[in-house]
Homo-oligomer: A and B are copies of this chain.
């Protein structure tokens, strides 16, 4: 069913039908005739063909690293909030933490006719660099700061530092660090930096054996912590993500250790998970939703050609202390 057939059925020209769908000049009679045919056939013009013609799809592509992630969901939520009202639709691509997928989907969007891209970044490889460069539509990067691109990101270093300081203030003399790969600049490198800075400030020694690498799962936090506990009982653990912290607390619990008394634990992200655990988790709230909204606003400006140079926006954090650091009792859900 295409515009020509509809035109024939309604006894008008293709142009008239096109105008019907694009509020052009049209007599009431023709309008009615077309309306009838459209109603009856359920015809809708091919967005595909329209985009090819007008070079504008009103779709924006979002590349994200994970699906089942609260932070991702919050960012995307913020994006929708800003974009829905402007008549844009979101096309999401889940890369399942695979950089190759990220590149592939960025390329899909490049050739697929979206008007703009929001990229929830994780790791940047040369391939990313080159596909981003070849992207001739506006892009905004969220959660990572990337030289030369419009970015909205968080104060990962500050948040990590604040969490580590809190552990120390609450009595940890030798806080452990369980983090993720430094190839992820924000969640890996910067948070690690924050941890190191806090130790330095407190004049505590930096020990390589106190810094352990996990992936983004609770399972890996659990495993790593078990290994540690086989050797000794740390008095505090700073985890680069709440998810890792969940695993750590689970391991402590199984070892009969009281989280918040014997072992202090803190994470980053303030996820819902950390509010329902046996001992509620101290964390740093990051403004994920706001970052999504801001990124969308940036993208809108860029798409309207109002992009006055490259901007990069850093958002702050909020310390949320709960029972896992021995502080005040948690707020409820």
Contacts and interface: CB of A to CB of B under 8 A. Distances in A.
Interface residues of A, number: 54
Nearest to A92: B92
Contacts of A134: 42, 44
19 contacts: A42-B130, A42-B134, A44-B107, A44-B111, A47-B108, A47-B112, A48-B48, A48-B113, A67-B67, A67-B73, A68-B69, A68-B70, A76-B94, A80-B96, A92-B92, A218-B276, A218-B333, A249-B276, A278-B278
A254 interface: yes
A223 to B, nearest CB: 9
A246 interface: yes
A60 interface: no
A325 interface: no
A33 to B, nearest CB: 21
Contacts of A104: 89
Contacts of A48: 48, 51-52, 111-113
A55 to B, nearest CB: 10
Contacts of A125: none
A91 interface: yes
Contacts of A44: 107, 110-111, 134
Nearest to A136: B1
Contact of A277 (B45, B46, B89, B278): B278
Tell me the dominant secondary structure on chain A's binding face.
helix
Nearest to A50: B111
A31 interface: no
Contact of A90 (B77, B94, B107, B277): B94
A138 to B, nearest CB: 17
A151 interface: no
Interface in A58-84: 59, 66-70, 72-74, 76-77, 80
Contacts of A92: 67, 91-94
A238 interface: no
Given A42-B134, A45-B111, A113-B48, A72 B67 contact: yes
Contacts of A89: 93, 104-105, 108
Contacts of A105: 89
Contact of A332 (B59, B70, B222): B222
Contacts of A90: 93-94
